[in-house]
Amino acid sequence: MTDTRSIDDVLAELVEEFDLLGDWEGRIEYVIELGKGLAPLPDEARTEAHKVPGCAAQVWLAVRREGDRLAFDADSDSALSKGNIALLLRLYSGRTPAEILGFDARAALDRLGLPSALTRQRANGLNAMVGRIRDAAAAA
């Protein structure tokens, strides 16, 4: 089911949730919990073509069209990476390419305090996931 709220409304909701969590440890635990709610990725989608390069863990991100919108399915072999991609899917999945490209993910993630809570390698992986989503939107 597609979230009909704007991407900014979803971000505002996430900011509220993250503010309630306080410290970075609580935020990381919450992100891991988000990952546990991610729908399983079918084995046929776990291909090299769907792998996101630059991530510390293995991350797969598959894109499909739903009319004028893009939907994403993803998974990872790491609980934290799985949580990070679940967070991104909450923001991006079900959006038009224009909405995706018009959204400042770096500013959004900074508002959540996420990059500063991650190791440099994990933060780079998060940026690689955003890049893959933006590339899909640019190609659509």
**Active-site residue numbers?**
55
Q: What is the DSSP string of 60-127?
A: EEEEEEETTEEEEEEEESSHHHHHHHHHHHHHHTTB-HHHHHTS-HHHHHHHHTHHHHS-HHHHHHHH
**Which H or E run contains 137?**
helix 120-139
Ramachandran region of residue 74, left (φ > 0), alpha (ψ -120 to 50) or beta? Answer: beta
Reading the block at residue 126, the tokens are: 């998060």
List CB contacts of 25: < 8 A, sequence separation 6 or more.
Answer: none
